[in-house]
Amino acid sequence: MDRQLEATYEAERRHFWFNGFRAFVAPLLDRAAAGRRDLRLLDCGCGTGHNIQTLLAPRGWATGFDLTWRGLQFGRQHGLGRLAQASITHLPYRDATFDIVTSFDVLQCLTGEQEARALSEFRRVLRPGGSLVLNVAALEILRGAHSVAWQEVRRHRRATLRAAVSAAGFQIDTLSYTNATLFPMILGVRVVQRIMGLPAPEDAGAEFGIPTRPVNAALSAALSVEARLIRVVNMPVGSSLLCLAHRE
């Protein structure tokens, strides 16, 4: 996992997937923050801490935690002091502490029981009216080497994520697939990987090689257009699911 975090850290600043991810998530955070002041935000499974720096901190007092010590080292080396080492199923925070809770690409690594516990914990630490922003890997047909590298337990469909979030006591505001623009390309790559045989976990790479500058720019631009589109219409398919929900 440490190797995957290092690969992620190098890619987060420039790779088209992360550029698209920020374009998808930022509007939901703005919706969650609208009309609120002195926000407290928590990133659950913060990895290298880059999302705290770029997405959460500009909107309020932000903190995060991760299970891996290496991920926290990355964050602390780059100026993030409010980080904790903890499990996503047992949050070390008091009830009703935060206005916004986020969790990006973590739930797919949990069993169903662990996921239910994590969602319950997200709700517990949120204030009434607080918002949850989730991003998870989508569609089993897209399972590939990346899934092995990140130890994915499952990939969600819209219906399964809706059921899990609702069962935890949240009201869903929006739920859409993302990366629909890249779906044919990703599907082709992952099908070939499965045909050729998926690698052992110790041999799996993170698939974060950055394309040439023109290709990376073109793919980033395509995802930026999609990010504007999903503000008015949900995508029917994609490699990720993005959810905004709130606690009543």
Q: 56 with 75: CB under 8 angstroms?
A: no
Q: What is the mean pLDDT of residues 97-104?
A: 98
Q: What is the mean pLDDT of residues 211-231?
A: 96
> Residue 12: pLDDT above 80?
yes
Structure confidence at residue 129 (pLDDT)? 97
| Residue 57 neighbours by CB distance under 10 Å | 19
Q: What is the mean pLDDT of residues 157-180?
A: 98
The confidence band for 9, taking pLDDT boundaries of 50, 70 and 90, is confident
> Residue length, the chain?
248
How far apart are the C-alpha atoms of 224 and 213, rounded to whole Å? Answer: 16
CATH of the domain at 112: 3.40.50.150
Q: Rg for the chain (alpha carbons), in Å? A: 17
The confidence band for 130, taking pLDDT boundaries of 50, 70 and 90, is very high
How far apart are the C-alpha atoms of 52 and 43, rounded to whole Å? Answer: 7
- Count of domains for the chain: 1
DSSP letters spanning 49-68 = SHHIIIIIGGGSEEEEEES-
Domain around 37: 2-247
Q: How far is CA 179 from CA 17, 38, 135, 190, 229, in A?
A: 8, 32, 12, 15, 11
pTM of the model: 0.94
Q: Which helix (H) or strand (E) holds 100?
A: strand 98-104
The DSSP symbol for 236 reads S
Mean pLDDT of the chain: 93
Report the SS3 class of residue 36. Answer: coil
